[in-house]
Amino acid sequence: MADIGSDVFFATIPELNAHLKAGDFSAEDLARAFARRLEQLGPRYNALALPLPQDAIRKGQTVDKDIKRGRLRGPLQGIPYGVKDLISYAGHPTTWGAKPYAGQVFDYNATVVDKLDAVGAVICGKLSTVELAGGGGYRYPAASLTGPGLNPWDRSRWSGGSSSGPGAAVAAGLVPFAIGSETSGSIVTPASYCGVTALRPTYGLVSRHGAMALSWTLDKLGPFGRSAEDCGLILQVIAGKDGKDPGSAGRGFYYTPQYSRPMKELKAAYAPVDFNERADASARPAFAEALRVLKDTGLQVTEIQWPQMPYGAVLSAILAAEEASIFEPLITSGKVDQLADQAQIAGLKAAMDVPARDYLKAQRIRRMMQDRLLRLFGEVDVLIAPGRSGPASKVTDRLDAGGPPGASVQGGFQGIIQAGNLAGLPALVLPCGFAENLPVALQLVGPPFSENALLAMGREFQAKTDWHKRRPPGAA
């Protein structure tokens, strides 16, 4: 077996692809190395839900045969990856991170798994998730079958949720990329906390068939990777029309960096209070420097006021009503009491009583929000905000103990995660520095189906910075 050094564990997809093409190692070698690393180090971060070494090795062997016969299937061929454990992989447990579903096995793959398999990507394992992707609202990071997600940069800190495993596993070099999900913040938060590049796609762009439903009108699947370019290459494979997903937008995505508009033609907006007041004091220098770098790319950056609307209340009502309907059998059977987090149990039970009028009104206000945000995107191409206001919280901290410092500051993009999810907008998370020796990140939010523009800005930013290349201490 070829010697696979630590640089390979932190290589981008094009770099791994070049190694495979050059014959530096085989796809089987790569599959064995990542599968072993994920199995050995995944538990260190509570990032691993299920190792799949035999599947990985078999797939690696198949890829080697394909390459030998000239059956080339694109840049993801032979690249190992993991999926959040709410995405089904036929014949293996898909626990949704929750005890009541610990023995659940589906006999079909999620569409994203089939799409990745078709291009020769190599599944190495299922990655941890907060139980039921956090449905009901959890009090502690420990709300998971696999325990609290531990941050590779500091294991006393949380890796973020609910895609805890994808964030930590990519950050620690346990997989080159991973597929996570977001209903409201579950990609943006772990990517920000773990210092990983990630993309929340436009609602409907990536099929959710075979993934646990938490909210039919909010759920999205998206990639965690080493760079904006990696996210573009992954999205090109997993996006596309799917008749099995009623929310499918019916369109694909072609990653076209060659057709990017020049940065100087693009307009971006931010709210200064997000960077000067709402952000944690320790993170402000990193955020300010990141803004400066973005301006240096030629991007036209202006200051604006974010439309103030009741994003939190609208999202809360919609999510509560939809999750209560989805998990009604769990709640009414009493099995909900097997969940690890008492606050989450209470949240799901209470959600059963959301009046229809609240759900309908929330959906009507959501329509108004969507219109308002789309009008905003008539003036600017992208909104810039911190991914989270500061670095990862302590793994023992209560998550319901009040908002972050600066949460009461008015006028900024307060609720940009909720607003972005309610309007189905894509967001790209870019690591942009450190605070308290932990990563912090920016998020770029664009209008629906603007992924190529966001990725272009991400590539420009990452060409001028190396935050996305940093490695957690002890993970090399």
Partner 1 sequence: MKAKLTRRKLAQTLLGGAAVDAIAQTMTPPTPDADLKAARDRLKATSDTLAAQNVPLDVEPAFQFKA
Report how far residue 230's alpha carbon sits from residue 224's, in angstroms, rounded to the nearest whole number: 8
Report how far residue 182's alpha carbon sits from residue 228's, in angstroms, rounded to the nearest whole number: 18
Kindly state the smallest distance separating residue 429's Cβ from partner 1, in Å: 18
CB-nearer residue toward partner 1: 86 or 317: 317
Kindly state the smallest distance separating residue 350's Cβ from partner 1, in Å: 4
Report how far residue 250's alpha carbon sits from residue 272's, in angstroms, rounded to the nearest whole number: 37
Kindly state the smallest distance separating residue 436's Cβ from partner 1, in Å: 25
Each residue of 423-446: b (16+ CB within 10 Å) or e?
bbbbbbbbbbbbbeebbbbbbbbb
Kindly state the smallest distance separating residue 332's Cβ from partner 1, in Å: 15
Select from 386, 458, 394 the least CA-distant residue to 160: 394
**Known catalytic membership, residue 361:** no
**Known catalytic membership, residue 84:** yes
Active-site residue among 26, 159, 162, 450?
162
CB-nearer residue toward partner 1: 122 or 206: 206
Tokens 């454990």 found at: 85
Active-site residue among 59, 84, 115, 220?
84
Active-site residue among 26, 181, 186, 227?
186
The region, left, alpha or beta by phi > 0 then psi within -120 to 50, assigned to residue 134 is left
Q: Which H or E run includes 237?
A: helix 228-238
Chain Cα centroid distance, residue 213? 16
Report how far residue 226's alpha carbon sits from residue 13's, in angstroms, rounded to the nearest whole number: 8
Which residues face 435 on adjacent strands? 438
The amino acid at residue 140 is Y
Report how far residue 124's alpha carbon sits from residue 53's, in angstroms, rounded to the nearest whole number: 6
**Known catalytic membership, residue 186:** yes
Q: Are 97 and 145 in contact (CB under 8 A)?
A: yes
CB-nearer residue toward partner 1: 350 or 409: 350
Which residues face 303 on adjacent strands? 270
Report how far residue 53's alpha carbon sits from residue 64's, in angstroms, rounded to the nearest whole number: 16
CB-nearer residue toward partner 1: 222 or 424: 424
Tokens 């006028």 found at: 411
Say whether 334 sits in a helix, a strand or coil.
Answer: coil
Report how far residue 122's alpha carbon sits from residue 143's, in angstroms, rounded to the nearest whole number: 29
Q: Give the angle subtended at the CA of 336 by the CAs of 166 and 39, to the nearest 5°.
A: 30
Q: Enumerate residues 6+ apart whose C-beta is below 8 A from 69.
A: none
Kindly state the smallest distance separating residue 36's Cβ from partner 1, in Å: 40
Select from 434, 443, 421, 442 the least CA-distant residue to 471: 434
CB-nearer residue toward partner 1: 196 or 365: 365
Say whether 281 sits in a helix, a strand or coil.
Answer: helix
Say whether 315 sits in a helix, a strand or coil.
Answer: helix
**Residue 287 CA: distances (Å) to CA of 290, 419, 433:** 5, 21, 8
Q: Tell me the HSE value of 364 on the side-chain side, using a 13 A CA sphere.
A: 6
Kindly state the smallest distance separating residue 145's Cβ from partner 1, in Å: 20
CB-nearer residue toward partner 1: 230 or 381: 381
CB-nearer residue toward partner 1: 358 or 436: 358
Q: What is the longest distance spanned by two Cα atoms in the chain? A: 63
Kindly state the smallest distance separating residue 178's Cβ from partner 1, in Å: 23
Kindly state the smallest distance separating residue 405's Cβ from partner 1, in Å: 20
Kindly state the smallest distance separating residue 408's Cβ from partner 1, in Å: 16
CB-nearer residue toward partner 1: 338 or 370: 370
CB-nearer residue toward partner 1: 30 or 423: 423
Binding region for partner 1 (CB under 8 A): 136-137, 202-204, 217, 247, 249, 310, 313-314, 316-317, 320, 342-343, 345-347, 349-351, 353-355, 358, 360-368, 370, 423-425, 448-449
Report how far residue 113's alpha carbon sits from residue 109's, in angstroms, rounded to the nearest whole number: 6
Catalytic residue list: 84, 162, 186
